[in-house]
């Protein structure tokens, strides 16, 4: 009898231990337990720690309450300004209601992933390329609102959404690079033109100051030569201003009283030479020159000289006397001499 009671006690104890082991559950700190009894949701959500359920009657579902980081696959889309882009993002969310996450949606992770992809495609079509590249904060907020609206009913809270990268076609990248280069060149030209304007104003002021003192221009020229020579160049280009030539010309000219008082000096001829003769006027020399008589040919000594033919008799009519040529003194034209009236025959030796 005692042995039967002892055996029954041992069986009851072992059954209790087995029941306890089967009913015992441990919920971690970052989890919450949702109990379904005969498939019906229990209102009490089990907190972290040790808990008990009815084996074969209750079913415990553990839900992770941590923030989940989920990458959104890259989506191809066309922006509002007809540019093909490829955008990927990342989403941060967590479960705030464990019962709704278990009951309202089959798999809240997959549901959030699909909603994020759809919202990302929608936000790409509503935005311009410039907004995707430079105004991402506003797009992130809009994307977060689009995903969070249906996720509230699932017991999921969207913590943050970030657009990671925007991939552009190579042709678009080259176009944007040319645009950026053109903009940089425009800025450089504007800055250069502004600098030239300021420099021209300063140079005009400096020219006004130098105009009062001509020597200042020479000093400035020497400073330029020193600056160029400091580079140790093999060739030195020296500008010679016209103002410097005019300055030197004015410095070499005599004063007005000296130019009036001093008579022109005639250079003296060296000893033993004739004084220089001034050239005569060509008109006067032509008038004062006497006509030269033609010379007779020289006869040969062997052949008898042929009598010279008599000049032809003038035609009958009134005789006209030709005016006698004017004779000028011999000193007036030293270069012209009167020709001899006749020539002597030369004998052959």
Tokens of 336: 């012209």
pLDDT tens digit string along 148-191? Answer: 888 888 999 999 999 988 888 888 889 888 988 999 999 999 99
- Whether 42 and 107 have beta carbons less than 8 Å apart is answered as no
3-state secondary structure of 168: coil
pLDDT of 234 higher than 50: yes
Of residues 296 and 186, more confidently modeled = 186
At residue 164's C-alpha, the angle toward residues 160 and 168, to 5°, is 145
* Structure confidence at residue 44 (pLDDT): 82
Residue with tokens 């580079």: 231
Residue 300 pLDDT level (bands cut at 50, 70, 90): very low
Percentage of the chain beyond pLDDT 70 is: 69
Contacts of 168 by beta carbon, 8 Å cutoff, 6+ apart:
83, 85, 129, 176
pLDDT tens digit string along 90-133? Answer: 999 999 999 889 988 888 999 999 999 999 999 998 888 888 88
Instruction: Identify the helix (H) or strand (E) that includes residue 166.
Output: strand 156-167
Instruction: Identify the helix (H) or strand (E) that includes residue 291.
Output: none
Based on the number of CB atoms within 10 Å of its own CB, is 227 exposed (0-12), middle (13-18) or buried (19 or more)? Answer: exposed
pLDDT of 344 higher than 50: no
Q: How far apart are the first and last CA of the chain?
A: 202
**Sign of CA pseudo-dihedral 268, 270, 275, 278:** negative
* Structure confidence at residue 226 (pLDDT): 78
């Amino acid at each position: 009898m005692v042995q039967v009671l002892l055996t029954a006690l041992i069986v009851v104890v072992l059954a209790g231990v087995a029941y306890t082991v089967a009913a015992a559950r441990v919920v971690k700190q970052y989890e919450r337990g949702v109990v379904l009894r005969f498939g019906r949701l229990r209102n009490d959500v089990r907190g972290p720690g040790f808990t008990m359920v009815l084996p074969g009657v209750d079913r415990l579902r553990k839900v992770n309450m941590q923030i989940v980081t989920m990458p959104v696959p890259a989506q191809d889309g066309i922006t509002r300004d007809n540019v093909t882009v490829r955008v990927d993002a990342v989403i941060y969310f967590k479960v705030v209601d464990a019962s709704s996450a278990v009951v309202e949606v089959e798999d809240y992770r997959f549901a959030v992933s699909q909603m994020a992809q759809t919202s990302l495609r929608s936000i790409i079509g509503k935005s311009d390329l410039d907004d995707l590249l430079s105004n991402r904060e506003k797009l992130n907020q809009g994307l977060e609102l689009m995903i969070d609206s249906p996720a509230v009913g699932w017991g999921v809270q969207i913590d943050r959404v970030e657009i990671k990268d925007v991939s552009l076609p190579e042709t678009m990248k080259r176009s944007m690079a040319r645009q950026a280069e053109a903009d940089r060149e425009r800025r450089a030209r504007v800055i250069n033109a502004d600098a030239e304007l300021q420099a021209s104003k300063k140079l005009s002021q400096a020219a006004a100051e130098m105009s009062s003192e001509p020597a200042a221009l020479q000093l400035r020229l020497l400073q330029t030569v020193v600056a160029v020579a400091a580079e140790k160049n093999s060739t030195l280009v020296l500008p010679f201003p016209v103002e410097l030539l005019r300055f030197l010309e004015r410095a070499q000219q005599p004063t007005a009283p000296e130019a009036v008082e001093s008579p022109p000096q005639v250079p003296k001829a060296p000893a033993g030479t004739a004084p220089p003769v001034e050239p005569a006027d060509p008109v006067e020399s032509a008038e004062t020159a006497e006509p030269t008589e033609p010379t007779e040919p020289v006869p040969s000594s062997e052949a008898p000289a042929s009598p010279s033919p008599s000049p032809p008799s003038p035609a009958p009519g009134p005789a006209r006397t030709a005016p006698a040529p004017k004779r000028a003194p011999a000193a007036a034209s030293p270069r012209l001499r009167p020709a001899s009236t006749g020539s002597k025959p030369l004998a052959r030796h």
